[in-house]
Amino acid sequence: MMPPSGRPVPPTMPPSGAPVPPMMPPSGTQLQPPGGMPIPQTMPPAELECSGQMRYTIKHGDTLYNLAKRHDITLFELLSANRNVNPYNLQAGQVICIPVSTARCPYGKIYTVAAGDTLATILARFRISLANLKEVNENFDPYNIKVGARLCIPAFMAFDTCPTERTYVVQAGDNLTRISEGFMITASDLLIFNPNMRPEDFGEVGMKICLPLEGVPLR
């Protein structure tokens, strides 16, 4: 009600000593803790990156030693691929990276990605296709190639297909002279039949080379 004079009635003050009710902020206002410090935000855990390697989820009873034996790798290789993992405190549900095992790349060789490598440079260097690379590297992500990742490089040919069905995969200790002598052809003939290969390429373990048919002259 307005007083007869028309002047507004002053607000009623609470009795002396009575607590003053708190003022509520407008709807939508973000509350701040005392002192103006921002409220910490909970960030989701970062997704583990295992480029060129296999992701594995820890199960009850797993140890890094047993996992290394199971995947045909050394304990050092497993630890190197998981530098932030405490081997004495593995938790079920924890995700780790499993490096490529040499034993799982029997007809090729292991290559460690170096600084400056890209998908294009790796494919060009080893003269293979992306399909070839993905076929022997489970969970390979061509958009996320990390330095230090170990890739299985499949055996490849100097030709897309050899002129003959006679091929040979270079073994440890091989070289141009040893291979040519083993198949009783000259080193020059072997180079002519593999024109995209350098002499030192015949020592690359896992390299698949083309061989001429026995008794058929090259020229």
**Mean of pLDDT values over 103-112:** 75
Instruction: Identify the H or E element spanning 130.
Output: helix 130-135
* Backbone conformation region of residue 177, classed left if phi is above 0, alpha if psi is from -120 to 50, else beta: alpha
E strand map for 95-211 = 95-98, 108-112, 150-154, 167-169, 208-210
Both structure tokens of 141: 């992500």
Supply the CATH classification number for the domain 54-98. 3.10.350.10
Supply the CATH classification number for the domain 157-219. 3.10.350.10
Buried b (16+ CB within 10 A) or exposed e, 18-29: eeeeeeeeeeee
Which residues fall within 8 angstroms of residue 203, CB to CB, at 6 or more apart? Answer: 170, 174, 175, 176
- 34-83, pLDDT tens digit by residue? 455 444 343 334 456 776 677 889 999 999 999 988 877 888 889 988 99
Give the pLDDT band (50/70/90) at residue 14. low
Whether residue 98 contacts residue 56, with contact meaning beta carbons closer than 8 Å, is answered with yes
What one-character DSSP code corresponds to residue 96? E
Q: Say which range, 29-38, 55-64, 100-109, has the weakest mean pLDDT.
A: 29-38
28 compared with 183, residue with greater pLDDT: 183
Q: Count CA within 13 A, CB hemisphere, residue 2.
A: 5
Give the pLDDT band (50/70/90) at residue 13. low
- Of 123, 139, 113, 122, nearest to 53 by C-alpha is 139
Domain with CATH 3.10.350.10 in the chain: 54-98, 102-154, 157-219
Which residues fall within 8 angstroms of residue 1, CB to CB, at 6 or more apart? Answer: 9
Is 216's pLDDT higher than 70?
Answer: no
Is 22's pLDDT higher than 70?
Answer: no
CATH 3.40.50.970 applies to domain 102-154: no
- The string of DSSP codes covering 36-71 is GPPPPPPPPPPPPP-TTSEEEE--TT--HHHHHHHT
Report pLDDT for 98.
87
Is 19's pLDDT higher than 80?
Answer: no
